Amino acid sequence: MLSKGLELYEHCLLAIEDNTLSHNYLEIKNILGVPQELVKVMTLCPFEHMRKWSLKIFQQNIDKFDSEGKYKLFRCLLKTTHHAGVQGYIIQNIKNQIDLALKVSNGNMWFSGQQLVPLLHLVLSLPEGAETDLLQNTDRIMESLNLLRYLVIRDNEWENQTGLWTDLFWIEKFLKPLRTGLNMSKAHYEAEIRNKKDNRKIKDASNHETRCSLTVGGKTLPKMTNAMQLEVLQSALYTFDVMESIQARIEELMELKMKSGTETKNVNNSAF
């Protein structure tokens, strides 16, 4: 039954040209509900080929809408979807739309200028502030950081094509709790690693290896040996290091761009 439904909907989408479906259709509850149902299949279906197929159709569904339709669909999905992987996928789509909008003569008002700012507010946020489980939300956070890094590189302060530089306070509201969360998470996992290493020394001395469970990113993993748990914990630390590295680069780029913008203004003022 599910495969027949996916096949029928995909067939309907193939008959529609990309970027031509009016945003007005999103006012129809059943049409807005389709991508939300696809998300359920993508995340909950036990069959991998069905999950991949529904993801393909999900992207096709996005591609059919006009710019305003994509904008409104992204906002709706970010508010209603709580799966970090799907949120990350949507943010990746937003980045692609912004990139298209910033190209010369595109004329896309929905993914540039002040119209874009409310969408960026949704993207650049942590669900629970500094207390957010960073591992559980890795996909969302990494895509958010990649988008912010792209915006800082692509948009100059004096041009402000994306509205990014209008008010930096809300960006700091994203980066500051993330910095705090990273520090807390790294400290916690480093302590766990030290504890596991101490336990391994004791077990090595007694020549006895046991298996026990480990909770990472809010999920209890199957019982593992001490060595296997250490590997998982090290992997988590690596993830935090990558996030920290991207955040540091963003802050460095912002400082350079702001300094460059100030110097440009001074040169222009001195010319008069």
What does pLDDT average to in each consecutive run of 10 residues of the chain (272 residues)? 92 95 94 94 96 97 97 96 96 96 80 93 94 96 98 92 90 96 96 85 55 61 78 94 97 89 58 53
pLDDT score, position 20: 96
Q: Can you give the pLDDT at residue 220? A: 65
Question: pLDDT at position 130, please?
Answer: 94
Query: What is the structure's pLDDT at 209?
Result: 52
Query: Nearest 5°: phi and psi at 109?
Result: -80, -15
Contact between 54 and 6 under an 8 Å Cβ cutoff? The reply is yes
CA 94 vs. chain centroid, Å, equals: 10
For residue 196, what pLDDT is reported? 84
Total-model pTM: 0.88
